[in-house]
Amino acid sequence: MKLGIIGLPQSGKTTIFNALTRGNTPTTASAGRIEVHTAVVDVPDPRVDKLSAMFKPRKTIYAKVTYADIAGLEGGAATSKGVAGISGQLLNQLAQMDGFILVVRAFDDENVPHPSGSVDPKRDVEAMLSELLLNDLIAVERKLERLDEERRKGGTDKTINARQTELFERLNKTLSDNRPLRDMEFNAEEQKELASYGLLTRKPILTVFNLGEGQKAPAIQLDHPCVDLMGKLEMEIAQLSPDDAAVFMQEYGIEELSLSKMIRLSYDLLKLQSFFTVGEDEVRAWTTRRGASAVEAAGEIHTDLQRGFVRAEVVAYEDLISLGGMNEAKTKGKLRLEGKEYLVKDGDIMHIRFNV
């Protein structure tokens, strides 16, 4: 799963990316080419830490989220009538993302002038959300025009044309009412129909307000999750050694980096959940979608486990921790056998029985 980090110029996208990667690699557009830098980041999870302390494995592996720092998105590129909107090269990158992290500047820095001349988070977040919405509106209007032309020429199946027209007219109505497409519900057939269009406002979004040190978060109401963090400070802490970072955080009374909260929110944004495998060799968090079956979860571990799935031994994380170990969970009847259709719950600890 991949989240694209987007935002206006000078909003601090690269600062946030560097804080995530513990690096100092800027993302820039050069020679007309959009450069995209990616990083795979551990999802902080105290459950993994507790399981690792219990089993003392040789390896401990956390769930992952991939972030992509995407340069080149600016406000004002799209209008709903006759203008191209976001460039095809950039749109192709954005369409590949499963969701977006929208970085909005809230910090003042006279050495980093704001492109609009002043810092106004409300204006900027509205501008970026409008940019995504207008780009979708352009795409939907063009699709409706093509459907109308095909209908007049009689070159396509009338049933398919009518179904697509009805769907895209609904999209057009929602976008024209200034509402993102993620507010809409679609059946399985419609989701399949829309999958190839890469409509941007269908994707989940998390807004990050990038604050200056000691600055309070702006009081802005949004229709989607948001988090505030001091990007420059968190980048500096992330680049320290673990011991120095701990001392720094203690000195400033920081119990948890906002970056950790942002990563967890990102994971949640994609409607993902974690299940665990445990043992002396490895304690590991695996990622699956919410509502996944046991056999689907087995496939996340290895295709052979999915192909030869027989049963899953399952114990809830809370039961294992409260009882103190796997043997105690078995004794108390908390370790159970589940079949293929069992719906995996967040925090389940699983051992897959299989036969290939």
| pLDDT digits (tens), the chain, 356 positions | 899 999 988 898 989 998 888 877 654 445 455 778 898 999 999 999 999 999 999 999 999 999 999 876 766 554 444 444 577 778 888 999 999 999 999 998 888 888 888 999 999 999 999 999 999 999 999 999 999 999 888 777 888 999 999 999 999 999 999 999 999 999 999 999 999 898 999 999 999 999 988 888 899 999 899 999 988 888 888 888 888 988 988 887 777 888 888 888 988 899 999 999 999 999 999 999 999 999 999 999 999 999 999 999 999 999 999 999 999 999 999 999 999 999 999 999 999 999 98
For 25-44, give one letter per residue: b (16+ CB within 10 A) or e. eebeeeeeebebbebebebb
Taking the C-alpha atoms of residue 81 and residue 96, their distance in angstroms, rounded to an integer, is 25
Per-residue pLDDT at 84: 47
**The CATH number of the domain where 328 resides is what?**
3.10.20.30
Residue 273 maps to a domain: no
Residue 311 maps to a domain: yes
Per-residue pLDDT at 85: 55
Per-residue pLDDT at 79: 47
Residue 155 maps to a domain: no
Which residues lie closer than 8 Å to 153 by C-beta, 6 or more apart?
Answer: none
Overall domain count for the chain: 1
Residue 338 maps to a domain: yes
For tokens 């998390």, what's the residue? 206
Residue 313 maps to a domain: yes
Residue 43 maps to a domain: no
Residue 298 and residue 340 in contact, taking contact as beta carbons nearer than 8 Å: no
Per-residue pLDDT at 81: 47
The alpha carbon of residue 122 and the mean position of all alpha carbons in its chain are separated, in whole angstroms, by 22
- Range(s) of the domain holding residue 320: 291-354
Residue 178 maps to a domain: no
pTM of the predicted protein model: 0.86
Residue 337 maps to a domain: yes
